[in-house]
């Protein structure tokens, strides 16, 4: 088995590279965490500004203000239930073009799509913040490794 000697200078240089990488990864993580939180609170504020509440005939969260992913999803489900009841169980695409119920079902579809968009936005914001925290931790770990490499480089000299 052959061993390769690593010079103190190359160990110190590697420590600097790892430190810079750690700082960049941690900074990217912090930026993603902040962006995810900002997105969450922006969507939450926009929904709350509409002053919509979950319908009383909802399976759960009835009467709650729609300002989060669960209440938005629940109201989308209720809108679907109401639209199907109004159309005799038919979707927008299934209704005849001359059917007067088609506009009501179309409006229900638009409202559901808007609510589902907010649900997806909450999910993306949560994912971005979660990945950001993970990246920040990885960056910090790289920074700690760089300190060990730098210490090795100075003790070997």
Kindly report, residue by residue over 32-88, the tens digit of the pLDDT.
999 999 999 999 999 999 999 999 999 899 999 999 999 999 999 999 999 999 999
Question: What's residue 13's pLDDT?
Answer: 85
Residue 157 has pLDDT above 80, yes or no: no
pLDDT level of residue 151 (50, 70, 90 thresholds): confident
Question: What's residue 3's pLDDT?
Answer: 59
pLDDT level of residue 137 (50, 70, 90 thresholds): very high
Confidence (pTM): 0.82
Task: Write the CA distances from 78 to 9, 86, 103, 154, integer angstroms.
Answer: 67, 12, 18, 67
Element (H or E) spanning 130, and its range? Answer: helix 101-156
Question: What's residue 4's pLDDT?
Answer: 60
Numbers of helices and strands, H then E, in the chain: 3, 0
> What is the chain's mean pLDDT, rounded?
92
Q: What is the DSSP letter of 65?
A: B
Instruction: Give me the phi and psi of 3, to 5 degrees please.
Output: -115, 145
Residue 1 has pLDDT above 60, yes or no: no
Question: What's the mean pLDDT in 100-125?
Answer: 96
Helix, strand, coil tally for the chain in percent (to 5): 75, 0, 25
Q: Which percentage of the chain shows pLDDT scores above 70? A: 93
Residue 89 has pLDDT above 70, yes or no: yes
């Amino acid at each position: 088995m052959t061993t390769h000697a690593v010079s103190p200078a190359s160990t110190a240089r590697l420590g600097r590279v790892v430190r810079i990488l750690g700082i960049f990864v941690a900074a990217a993580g912090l930026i993603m965490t902040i962006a995810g939180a900002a997105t969450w609170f922006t969507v939450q504020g926009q929904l709350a500004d509409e002053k919509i509440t979950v319908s009383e005939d909802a399976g759960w969260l009835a009467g709650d203000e729609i300002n989060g992913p669960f209440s938005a999803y629940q109201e989308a489900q209720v809108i679907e239930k109401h639209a199907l009841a109004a159309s005799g169980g038919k979707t927008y695409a299934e209704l005849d073009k001359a059917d007067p119920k088609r506009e009501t079902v179309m409006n229900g579809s638009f409202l559901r799509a808007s609510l589902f968009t907010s649900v997806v936005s909450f999910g993306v914001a949560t994912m971005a913040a979660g990945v950001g925290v993970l990246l920040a931790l990885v960056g910090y770990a790289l920074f700690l490794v760089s300190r060990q490499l730098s210490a090795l480089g100075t003790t070997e000299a």
